[in-house]
Amino acid sequence: MTGSPKVIRLADAQKSGARGRAGSFDPHEFVRALRDGQPWAERAFLERERGHVERVLTRILGWHAELDDLTQEVFTRAFERIAELREPEALRGWLSAITVFVAREAIRRKRRRRWLIFRAPEETPDLAAESTPAEARAALRAFYEVVATIEVDARIAFTLRCVGGLELSEIAEACDVSLATIKRRIKRAADDFYVRGRAHPELVDWFEEGTRWRQTKS
Amino acid sequence: MASNQELRALGRALAELQDEALASRERRTTSESLAGIHRARTQRASSARRARRLRAVLGVASAAAALIALFSLRARPLDFVVGKARAPGQLGVWVASPPPEQTPLAFSDGSRMLLQAGAQARVISTSEHGARIVIERGSARSDVVPRPNNDWSVIGGPFEIRVTGTSFDADWQPEQQTLRVTMYEGHVIVRADCLAAPRALGKGESVALSCPLPSVADASRAAPSAVTAPHSSSAVTVAPLPAATAVAGAARPAAASKRPASFLVLARQGNYQGALAAAERADFDGVCRTLSAAELLELGTLARLAGNPKRAATAYSALRQRFAGTDSAATAAFHLGQMAFDRAGAYAEAKQWFATYLGERPAGVLVPEALGRKMEAEQRSGDLSAARSTAALYLSRYPAGAHARLAASLSSP
């Protein structure tokens, strides 16, 4: 490989957009470069997809305390397993699946610490920017308190759909299950969320008054 | 069911907040991240090499070790691990399964017990042929591997389920004194003092058994024949239980007509952390001055299950102060004892609370557990004389109870 094409590919990769459309660059060559451990490709991959990975993790987990470490874990696994990727066009979906797996592990790790009767209160990390109004911050916290009570796989599907705005087919791919299973999980979680969320003081207002706390933001 | 529009609008709003937060945070540079990723890969590669070498060495040794283990396991009591983290299990230590989780207990012979959300249990003894497990409350699925000479029992209140090799659900609700057993495989035998005869259950069968509480009149009539405990502060009498009855359906208390506080609603959904946070926002101490006795009991329990024993103690103490002499106040004393017991080293305090419960409710539903725990607290606090006396009382009343083995060991010279 010469120096010039690398520069072009890196620029293309950076321009290719947050939604993962490959644009004009060749995904087959890009994945081949990742498999070869080309530093430019790894850097481009990280720069292009880090935002996506952080968003998926945040949509599912709702907290930031270990976000950098979890993001690093996702890319470490991706680089280690890039040889297993069969379809270079599906790079982003494949990365999303790794991200969901890492998020699921994080949830289960957190829950594993809860079996003792008198466990120590866990730290509650920041969920929103400092500039976020207190009411909105409370609603965000309440949302994730409620989803934390939902079964893990249903919670993941629900947050990816509800907060992440992903299509059902994208969620099914990321979770490595059928479309029907994803629909069932989302319905189950939405039913649970509706019942529990309406009982939550911060969320019941939202349900009843729509975008109340968003309006107070400005 | 929430409308999709409602949920999507909420989701979009939350996503905007998260994106703002992500945009405003200081994150690692690309170079720092790449360096971190490469470090992690190097460490893993190195660990993998070490693991491969270790596997090669262990490969030869493991065959021999397996043979040795086979022989030694035959004579060793079963081990067990708790939770998905597989923490080593300890005899006598209560294990809780906070909602919405299930908590597995995995035994070294392959048998498993899965505590359902909200259940509490403890393994009180193990042998090479099985274990004795007490369900304090809630439901548990047991899958016992069939083996020759199996000796397993699951205890809920006055009931003991004897198991050989089978799969079944057991659900013990102390408030209703009801044990529900649903069989999936094999068969079990349920025994209890209050049962006229042991009850055998086979595959596909289910039953709800109850030792109903005596009425006040029954209890007072029964009192003269009850055994008196040599207790330091007050005499403890334990009224005999009437015969067991099979109940057809789930007898649940009627719902209160008053609309419950939001934190109680959350607690009833199993969201104890959220419930406690809501109670704090509603002024926890102020709430303790206004709630009914039953609600205060719920508040204490939700704080306890949310992992905040200090707040639980505040609620229970308020209950005892405001509603002295009631059933709820006595139950609060039991829970205060339970908390003191589970905090290492507070056995003297626990003993006093259990004694208080027994003194206030000699025919209460929690008497077997309170008496057993009082005996255990006396033993652990070094008051062996009192422990022996309580053990004698316990054995006379509950010879097949959850604490019978400990009581027998204390009673024997």
Strand B178-185 versus strand B206-210 pairing type: antiparallel
Per-residue pLDDT band for B342 (boundaries 50, 70, 90) equals confident
Residue with tokens 């069989």: B183
Question: pLDDT tens digit string along B103-154?
Answer: 899 998 888 899 988 888 888 888 888 898 988 888 898 988 877 778 888 9
Three-class SS state of B361: coil
Within this chain, do residues B275 and B359 fall inside the same structural domain, yes or no?
A: yes
**Rounded CA gap, B320 and B141, in Å?**
36
Q: Is B9 within the bounds of a domain? A: no
Per-residue pLDDT band for B403 (boundaries 50, 70, 90) equals confident
- The pLDDT, as a whole number, for residue B279 is 92
| Bridge partners, B170 (sequence order) | B140, B181
Q: Is B309 within the bounds of a domain? A: yes
- The pLDDT, as a whole number, for residue A78 is 95
Q: pTM for this one?
A: 0.42
H or E element that contains B67? helix B30-75
For all residues of chain B together, what is the average pLDDT?
Answer: 77
How far away is chain B from the Cα of A74, in angstroms, using its nearest Cα?
9
Within this chain, do residues B323 and B403 fall inside the same structural domain, yes or no?
A: yes
Question: pLDDT tens digit string along A6-63?
Answer: 333 333 443 443 333 434 568 888 999 999 888 888 889 998 999 999 999 999 998 7
Q: Is B65 within the bounds of a domain? A: no
| Listed residue (A108, A122, A101, A112) closest to A56, CA to CA | A101
Last residue of a domain, one of B189, B210, B231: B210
Cross-chain residue pair A72–B36, CB shorter than 8 Å: yes
- The pLDDT, as a whole number, for residue B311 is 92
Identify the residue among B4, B12, B14 best suited for mutation to test binding to A, counting A beta carbons within 10 A and taking the highest: B14
**Rounded CA gap, B155 and A75, in Å?**
49
Within this chain, do residues B196 and B104 fall inside the same structural domain, yes or no?
A: yes
Within this chain, do residues B176 and B289 fall inside the same structural domain, yes or no?
A: no
**Rounded CA gap, B36 and B117, in Å?**
39
Catalogue all structural domains in chain A, each as residue range(s) with its CATH number. 1-125 (1.10.1740.10), 128-218 (1.10.10.10)
Question: pLDDT tens digit string along A41-56?
Answer: 888 999 899 999 999 9
> Is the predicted pLDDT of residue B255 greater than 80, yes or no?
no
Backbone phi, psi, residue A131, to 5°: -75, -10
Distance, C-alpha A51 to centroid of its chain: 10
Domain count, chain B: 2
Q: Is B56 within the bounds of a domain? A: no
> Is the predicted pLDDT of residue A154 greater than 90, yes or no?
yes
Q: Average pLDDT for residues B249-277, to the nearest whole number?
A: 65
Within this chain, do residues B189 and B293 fall inside the same structural domain, yes or no?
A: no
> Is the predicted pLDDT of residue A119 greater than 50, yes or no?
no
Identify the residue among A53, A102, A161, A163 best suited for mutation to test binding to B, counting B beta carbons within 10 A and taking the highest: A163
| Listed residue (A84, A108, A90) closest to A156, CA to CA | A108
| B-proximal residues of A, 130-189, CB under 8 Å | 130-132, 136-137, 139-140, 142-143, 145-146, 148-151, 161-165
- The pLDDT, as a whole number, for residue B212 is 55
Within this chain, do residues B195 and B278 fall inside the same structural domain, yes or no?
A: no
**Rounded CA gap, A149 and A126, in Å?**
19
Last residue of a domain, one of B182, B210, B238: B210
Q: Is B102 within the bounds of a domain? A: yes
Which residue would you say has higher pLDDT here, A182 or B21?
Answer: A182
Three-class SS state of A199: coil
**Rounded CA gap, B396 and B228, in Å?**
11
| Bridge partners, B237 (sequence order) | B228
CATH number at residue B198: 2.60.120.1440
Cross-chain residue pair A115–B97, CB shorter than 8 Å: yes
Three-class SS state of B335: helix
User: Which residue stretches of B181-308 are H helix?
Assistant: 216-222, 262-268, 272-281, 284-288, 293-305
Contacts of B244 (CB under 8 A, 6+ apart): B192, B194, B195, B196, B209, B210, B211
Count of C-beta atoms within a 10 Å radius of residue A2: 6
- The pLDDT, as a whole number, for residue B74 is 52
Within this chain, do residues B171 and B304 fall inside the same structural domain, yes or no?
A: no
Report which listed range, B225-234, B261-270, B271-280, is most confident: B271-280
Q: Are B170 and B135 spatial neighbours (Cβ–Cβ below 8 Å)? A: yes
Report which listed range, A88-102, B83-97, B258-272, is most confident: A88-102
Within this chain, do residues B199 and B270 fall inside the same structural domain, yes or no?
A: no
Q: Which domain holds residue B398?
A: 254-411
Count of C-beta atoms within a 10 Å radius of residue B411: 16
CA torsion sign for A95, A153, A193, B298 is: negative
Q: Is B22 within the bounds of a domain? A: no
CATH number at residue B325: 1.25.40.10
Does any CB of chain B come closer than 8 Å to the CB of residue A105?
no
CA B383 to each of CA B55, B120, B339: distance values in angstroms, whole numbers, following the listed order = 51, 27, 20
Q: Average pLDDT for residues B70-95, to the nearest whole number?
A: 76
| Bridge partners, B6 (sequence order) | none
Q: Which of B185-189, B259-263, B295-299, B405-409 has the lowest mean pLDDT?
A: B259-263
Within this chain, do residues B264 and B181 fall inside the same structural domain, yes or no?
A: no
Q: Is B388 within the bounds of a domain? A: yes
**Rounded CA gap, B183 and B205, in Å?**
5
Within this chain, do residues B199 and B88 fall inside the same structural domain, yes or no?
A: yes
> Is the predicted pLDDT of residue B226 greater than 50, yes or no?
no
Residue B1 identity: M
Backbone phi, psi, residue B87, to 5°: -70, 140
**Rounded CA gap, B65 and B301, in Å?**
47
Which residue would you say has higher pLDDT here, A97 or A209?
Answer: A97
Q: Is B279 within the bounds of a domain? A: yes
| Listed residue (B151, B150, B158, B116) closest to B134, CA to CA | B158
Cross-chain residue pair A162–B18, CB shorter than 8 Å: no
ipTM, 2 decimals?
0.78
Last residue of a domain, one of B179, B210, B241: B210
Within this chain, do residues B293 and B187 fall inside the same structural domain, yes or no?
A: no
Q: Average pLDDT for residues B37-48, to the nearest whole number?
A: 83
**Which percentage of chain B shows pLDDT scores above 90?**
12
Count of C-beta atoms within a 10 Å radius of residue A73: 22
Within this chain, do residues B304 and B391 fall inside the same structural domain, yes or no?
A: yes
